[in-house]
Amino acid sequence: DIVMTQSPDSLAVSLGERATVNCKSSQSLLYSSNNKNYLAWYQQKPGQPPKLLIYWASTRESGVPDRFSGGGSGTDFTLTISSLQAEDVAVYYCQQYYGAPPYTFGQGTKLEIK
């Protein structure tokens, strides 16, 4: 199975500042035939199910604010929040969906306000 490792485990950022979460996969998630990275990002707030933010590593889901952006390719990916808002406090997960299941998640990164 592909192992997904996020860093850091927790992060405290001031309101209005940039927050960056990293995700590393144990094998490349780039499918050469379509040049797509099979990597998604989710946001989970307390007591709620996860919400899809980003897929194909950099495509924002409909309705997601443009302060959220995804980058990276191959085995190294980032989720960036350009200007942290209070409502962005949550746990963020990356997930690979490359090839056959299981489609593993990272361990999560808890984002708080400094």
Partner 1 sequence: EVHLLESGGTLVQPGGSLRLSCAASGFTFSSYALAWVRQAPGKGLEWVSGIRNSGGNSGGNTYYADSVKGRFTISRDNSENTLYLQMNSLRAEDTAIYYCARLLGGSAASRPLDCWGQGTLVTVSS
Q: Where does this chain bind partner 1 (CB under 8 A)?
A: 1, 38, 40, 42, 44, 48-52, 55, 61, 93, 95, 97-108
CB 53 within 8 Å of CB 62: no
End-to-end CA distance of the chain: 36
Per-residue DSSP letter, 102: P
Q: Please, what is the minimum distance in Å from the beta carbon of residue 62 to partner 1?
A: 9
Smaller CB separation from partner 1, 42 or 77: 42
Q: Give me the count of residues in the chain.
A: 114
Smaller CB separation from partner 1, 14 or 51: 51
Smaller CB separation from partner 1, 7 or 14: 7
Q: Please, what is the minimum distance in Å from the beta carbon of residue 16 to partner 1?
A: 28
CB 22 within 8 Å of CB 77: yes
Q: Please, what is the minimum distance in Å from the beta carbon of residue 55 to partner 1?
A: 4
Q: Please, what is the minimum distance in Å from the beta carbon of residue 19 to partner 1?
A: 19
Q: Phi/psi class of residue 56: alpha, beta or left (left: φ > 0; alpha: ψ in -120 to 50)?
A: left
